[in-house]
Amino acid sequence: MDLKGKVAIITGARRGMGRTHALALAKAGAKVVVSDISLEDCQKVAKEIEKQKGEALAVKCDVSKKEEVDKMIQMAVSKWGRIDILVNNAGICQFKPFLEMTEKEWDLTLDINLKGYFFCAQAVAKQMVKQKSGVIVNIASVAMGQQGIGFPNIAHYCASKGGIVGLTEALAIELAPYNIRVNAVSPGMIETPMISSVKQDKKTIEAILSRVPLRRVGRPEEVSNLVLFLVSEDSSYITGSTVVVDGGWLAA
């Protein structure tokens, strides 16, 4: 899975899965834009990549703000002349019972988790159309409803992740004529800062793992390996798909 000469943008890349996605793609040879809301944290990840003799550009970007997304794209194109890969990874998950959820809390989650994906995908696709090639991978979740599962106290998160799957399928159809592939990855319970509060509740984490055949939490690298495959030429006939990485959770 050789990505030499490719330019990749990873959103939400300062920690967790975003960081491991950035490191994995850089290790495969891609030049990586490390993007998130903290420039300092992005610079730390960029330095990790550079220590591995890779190339990286740290960019502060709030994906819910179109002007910041457009600036990020301009910076990437200005530095490297093209964009070959987008991994839409930025996201938040705030626990709140549905009956107590405020409009502000709903809007914040949808703005980052879904509208942010739209902003980034549209801005990147306009560049990819010029190149007549490109790959977009959207990070969804098993909490996506339909073929996935619902989850209590995160209705806004579930709605956003289900929306990502629908967005992925629509974009795959619209962008296929330009040789642009679009797929989604739906992780289950992965060891990231996002699940720290869940792990603190022993009963909750035990209940979740009792439904996972592999009986463990996944590692970020196990998701990044799939992302790497989907952005490489090894998956050249795969588009419009949602691939689950959940230790067998949905199968059970």
Give catalytic residue positions: 157
Our CA angle for 31, 33, 36, nearest 5°, is 155
C-beta separation of 39 from 60 below 8 A: yes
Token pair listed for 186: 């739906």
Token pair listed for 179: 């040789």
Token pair listed for 19: 């960081």
Main-chain dihedrals φ then ψ at residue 36, nearest 5 degrees: -175, -175
User: Judging by DSSP bridges, how do beta strands 31-36 and 7-10 pair with one another?
Assistant: parallel
